[in-house]
Structure 1
């Protein structure tokens, strides 16, 4: 792979070189208020009837707890709980979708948790439900977050068959010691195979997530991670700082002992 020279705009870097909110959700969590009731919601829905829709579906389930995680998640191996969750999600979709009649979906994203916690039948059930209740553009961006420990290549094939065309993979770090300390040990070879297979079967965009500030990370170890990511050659790279919040998330307290 050839290395291209990059001309950095230092003025632009300095302009935005400060801590800001993580746009993993929008509006951010701090913007949510108990004052925003049903009437305010209905007014907001009706405000821009001509705009396309971007839908987000949260799948909160995980088989294992990652100690760096600050997301809304449920750690369980009881697969039937996903069916119960989909039952509730179906009620909400059927109830809310008519409010957006006539508007077309340009983007759909599944996040978590671990969206690939769902089995193939559950994935198909949810996609069928969404397509029956919303109008999708033919060129809609349909993306999903993937945990390389929680997916097989045939599941990736199934996702593509269901219409997914964008993939975001949570790698976080390639250093084995860092992975062990945050309870997220991964098969590096499979990560490469997964990303290559995604390209082969028609995923048009691939993203890798990294986190800096994890226990035992050093400039040298993170440089190694970046080197491996460059070899992966994803279309996008998302890099987040680790937020240590042991009073809010018990998993952060695990990292404090490292």
Structure 2
């Protein structure tokens, strides 16, 4: 399936010449555009209008971890006291009850994802409690995608079996790196044996998909050490692999201050690691999905890519991103029709809002017509690697080339660099441009073009 259509070309000189920072576009506009003027009443009105008629997605944020990984920039609470989650679960119940007042019946769940933090921080009783609440307000379906992020260091085979009984059918396993020196430097010591144990248990209990997360750019990583990790990963045969770039920002994330900055690989070494990783995965049969994601040819993501059905949402690439997504828990972000809504980031503020019988909305955003248009364009570029002008004729007030004249002028420059082809009626991303798709998508970001953003973005490659 690695035909020219799915090819990818690694051009180091070109990568170095382009802007190195940019949004991941799990949403457009990006979260830095969200406003505190958006409140619970707007979320409620949108839910009442849009939820109930079609399958939806649900995201559940579990913020607890029992140890701290020094590289992590997520919203998390470090504690070994699992009873702290009992209180949190009661508030998840309350949030679900308040949300469900805004629709009738039990909407079907096409997609469910437990993220964190560490969702497997919860014990079986706590997990069962949340699933009982979910089943009270939603209908789980046979072909739904129900996933959970797992830390193999604190999961038994019995727990994996229980997760399958609850209804989960996909797991995402955090590994980052198997090298013991790297693991010690980031305070995440995790053996291949315990990782394999959890993955084997998932397969034995009928899980349909195993995803693995890796990070490049961690302290003490080298091209050789990552090559050894990749060989170990290949032996595990995951269905999907994500290879994320580590952004060393100790001024923003306090845990990163415990990392020896001098041990973080330089830009050249990181590109060596990334280039080798891409070649290794392609040579061993994985398909490049986009950005930093790879999948086996028979995986649903690869099939969706081949059939032009690939989508993108806050969890990354997906086959169900066109679903409205309800998000519960502290700091979680949902998308319903033309709005985004984010919950309180502080746990006490989250609790206080629910104590007042108010949805814990911190901020949000209502998209205008231009936002909706650009969101669709960026989605097409990120997921399909091409853009047909005719697809937008019915929703544009004027021809595509006139409406986006400035953007097309800028794209001409990227075309001259070999990132894309500008045809008479479409834009087509080249194998060289696929790896740099974020740079291409950034051209259509209205707020980025006007520098109306103050976010700290990650590196595009």
Give the alignment's TM-score, normalised by structure 2: 0.51
* 1:99 aligned residue: 102
Deviation sequence 1:4-35 (CA, Å, 0-9, x none): 97765236999999754346789854343212
Alignment of 1:253 onto 2:271: no
- Matches of 2:122 and 2:27, distance apart in 1: 22
Q: Quote the residue 1:72 is aligned against.
A: 75
SS where residue 75 of structure 2 aligns? coil
**Number of equivalenced pairs:** 255
- What pairs up with 1:148-163 in 2 under 5 angstroms? 148-163=152-167
Q: 2: distance between equivalents of 1:243 and 1:25?
A: 20
Equivalent residue number for residue 147 of structure 1? 151
Mapped to 2, the partners of 1:195 and 1:27 lie a distance apart of: 36
Q: CA offsets, 1:185-219, max 9 Å, x none?
A: 01211111211221111000110000111001111
The question of whether the paired residues in 1 share the 8 Å contact of 2:44 and 2:99 is answered with: no
Q: Residues 24 and 58 of structure 1: is their aligned pair in 2 closer, same or farther, counting only changes over 3 Å?
A: farther
Q: Would the alpha carbon gap of residues 139 and 98 (structure 1) be closer, same or farther in structure 2, given more than 3 Å must change?
A: farther
Counterpart CA distance in 1 for 2:197 and 2:84 is 30
SS at match of 2:152: coil
* C-alpha distance in structure 1 between counterparts of 2:26 and 2:155, whole Å: 22
- CA separation of 1:5/1:104 partners in 2, compared to 1, >3 Å: closer, same or farther? closer
Q: How does 1:205-216 map to 2 (within 5 A)?
A: 205-216=209-220
C-alpha spacing 1:149/1:177, structure 2 compared with 1 (3 Å): same
Deviation at 1:226, TM superposition (A): 1.2
184-193 or 62-71, larger mean C-alpha shift: 184-193
Whole-angstrom distance in 2 between the partners of 1:24 and 1:70: 17
1:113 to 2:117 alignment: yes
CA distance in structure 2 between the aligned counterparts of 1:24 and 1:190, rounded to whole angstroms? 32
* Aligned equivalents of 1:110, 1:160: Cα separation in 2: 14
What is the alpha-carbon distance in structure 1 between the residues aligned to residue 30 and residue 66 of structure 2? 26
From 222, 229, 232, the equivalent of 2:226 is 222
State the SS of the aligned residue for 2:257. Answer: helix
In structure 2, distance between residues paired with 1:158 and 1:26: 37
Note if contact 1:97-1:134 (Cα within 8 Å) is conserved in structure 2.
no
Give the secondary structure class of the aligned counterpart of 2:112. Answer: strand
Matched, 1:82 2:80: no
Corresponding residue number in structure 1 for 2:64: 61
Which of 127, 130, 138 in structure 1 is aligned with 2:131? 127
Please tell me whether Structure 1 or Structure 2 has the larger radius of gyration of its CA atoms. Answer: 2
Q: 1:51 is matched with which residue? A: 54
**After the TM superposition, which parts of structure 1 deviate over 4 Å for at least 4 consecutive aligned residues?**
4-8, 11-20, 22-28
- Residue of structure 1 in register with 2:193 after alignment: 189
Cα distance change on mapping 1:95 and 1:175 into 2, 3 Å: same
C-alpha change, 1:5 and 1:53, in structure 2 (3 Å) is closer
How big is the shift at 1:51? Answer: 3.4
Partner Cα distance (2:111, 2:46) in 1: 19
More deviation, 38-47/65-74: 38-47
**Alpha-carbon shift at residue 47 of structure 1 (Å):** 5.0
Task: Work out whether 1:202 is the aligned partner of 2:206.
Answer: yes
Alpha-carbon distance in structure 2 between the residues aligned to 1:26 and 1:170 = 27
C-alpha contact (below 8 Å) 1:55/1:107 kept by paired residues: yes
Residue from 39, 42, 47 that aligns with 2:41: 39
Asked which structure has the greater RCO (Cα within 8 Å, sep 6+), the reply is 2
* Match in the other structure for 1:178: 182
TM-aligned CA deviation for residue 54 of structure 1:
0.6
Q: Which runs of 5+ in 1 are unaligned?
A: none
